[in-house]
């Protein structure tokens, strides 16, 4: 899962763990946190999305949609942050960040990871509507370059809409806000009876969701009504992995 064959063959020569990532990207934070939880050495390839460093033929040769993160592990290229962290947990099982497959609790972790992946577009919409819209807006020339490289209709349409004089539509923004409110209501409920998202142990489920909280909070998402989420957030933020994977990279400006 998530393994691709890149057309940019320079990456196939990478040995060890190489991460193509952006300091402030929530999907990148997930991977950095997993690497830090496991105490793994990794090589950073920083791709500044705010400067459009992902919109080049070279980078599209590494990620066919021009997104971060990408992990290259001993020449094998993996995309999709939830697949990447799953891969890391299987390859480097100490400490485990997912219960064993036959425990029944693994399903809960996978479910939370899938929900986060499925709702990424809503996080992106909220972020662009409240914080990133102008920074990520593309000029006509930049849009023309992007069209040359991007085959994915959904991403193309998203960036075209964001770069239009009207920006993202009100309907899109309200829908995404509603979906995210429902997601965090579910999370708050799950955290009512247990310290971590999938039970008594800190897992990939927490690692998948905390970056979404970090970035949405910076964009002013109304989290005040979720008391259990507030407690959980403080507990995750107290971990050394959060310090190194999120705060050190964002200067506290998640
Ligand atoms: N489903 C992908 C989503 C990746 C994604 O959308 N990454 C964002 C940053 S969090 C990105 O690269 N955005 C750049 C763009 O939209 O051009 C994953 O989980 O890795």
Q: Determine the pLDDT at residue 103.
A: 81
Q: Determine the pLDDT at residue 95.
A: 97
Ranges of H-type helices in the chain: 26-37, 57-60, 81-91, 105-118, 120-127, 140-149, 153-163, 170-190, 204-218, 227-237, 240-242, 248-250
Average pLDDT over residues 12-40: 98
CATH of domain 101-138+169-240: 1.20.1050.10
Q: Residues 206, 246, 116, 86: is their CA dihedral positive or negative?
A: negative
Cβ 129 under 6 angstroms from ligand 1: no
For a ligand 1 pocket test, name from 62, 120, 151 the mutation site with the most ligand atoms within 8 angstroms of its C-beta. Answer: 120
pLDDT in tens, 45-97: 999 999 999 999 999 999 999 999 999 999 999 999 999 999 999 999 999 99
User: For atom 2 of ligand 1, which residue has the closest CA?
Assistant: 80
pLDDT band at 254 (very low <50, low <70, confident <90, very high): low
Q: Determine the pLDDT at residue 252.
A: 66
User: Where do you find CATH 3.40.30.10 in the chain?
Assistant: 3-91
d(CA 45, CA 200): 35
Nearest Cα to 84, choosing from 18, 13, 10, 15? 18
Using DSSP's 3-state secondary structure scheme, residue 225 falls into coil
pLDDT band at 253 (very low <50, low <70, confident <90, very high): low
Q: Determine the pLDDT at residue 51.
A: 96
pLDDT in tens, 85-128: 999 999 999 999 999 888 878 999 999 999 999 999 999 999 99
Q: Determine the pLDDT at residue 101.
A: 83
Average pLDDT over residues 162-179: 97
> CA 13, 17, 19 angle in degrees (round to 5)?
95
Report pTM.
0.97
Identify the CATH assignment for 3-91 out of 3.30.360.10, 3.60.15.10, 3.40.30.10, 3.40.50.150: 3.40.30.10
Query: Residue 146: CB partners within 8 Å, gap ≥ 6?
Result: 55, 66, 138, 156, 159
Q: How far apart, in Å, are the Cα atoms of 84 and each of 113, 137, 190, 208?
A: 12, 28, 25, 11
User: Where do you find CATH 1.20.1050.10 in the chain?
Assistant: 101-138+169-240
For a ligand 1 pocket test, name from 67, 68, 147, 249 the mutation site with the most ligand atoms within 8 angstroms of its C-beta. Answer: 67
């Amino acid at each position: 899962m998530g393994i691709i064959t890149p057309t940019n063959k320079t990456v196939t020569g990478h040995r060890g763990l190489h991460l193509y990532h952006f300091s402030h990207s929530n999907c990148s934070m997930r991977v950095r946190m997993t690497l830090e939880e496991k105490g793994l050495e990794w090589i950073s390839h920083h791709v500044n999305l705010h400067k459009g460093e992902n919109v080049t033929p070279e980078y599209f040769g590494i990620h066919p949609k021009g997104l971060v993160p990408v992990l290259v592990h001993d020449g094998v290229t993996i995309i999709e942050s939830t697949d990447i962290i799953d891969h890391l947990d299987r390859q480097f099982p100490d400490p485990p960040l997912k219960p064993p497959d036959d425990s029944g609790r693994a399903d809960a972790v996978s479910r939370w990871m899938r929900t986060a992946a499925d709702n990424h577009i809503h996080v992106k919409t909220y972020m662009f509507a409240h914080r990133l819209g102008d920074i990520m807006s593309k000029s006509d020339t930049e849009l023309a370059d992007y069209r040359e490289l991007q085959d994915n209709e959904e991403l193309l349409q998203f960036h075209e809409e964001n770069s239009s004089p009207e920006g993202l539509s009100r309907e899109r923004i309200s829908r995404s806000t509603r979906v995210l409110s429902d997601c965090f209501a579910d999370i708050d409920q799950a955290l009512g009876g247990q310290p971590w998202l999938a039970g008594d142990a800190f897992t990939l489920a927490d690692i998948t969701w905390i970056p979404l909280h970090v970035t949405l909070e910076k964009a002013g998402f109304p989290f005040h009504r979720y008391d259990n989420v507030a407690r959980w957030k403080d507990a995750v933020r107290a971990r050394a992995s959060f310090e190194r994977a999120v705060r050190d990279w964002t200067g506290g400006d998640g």
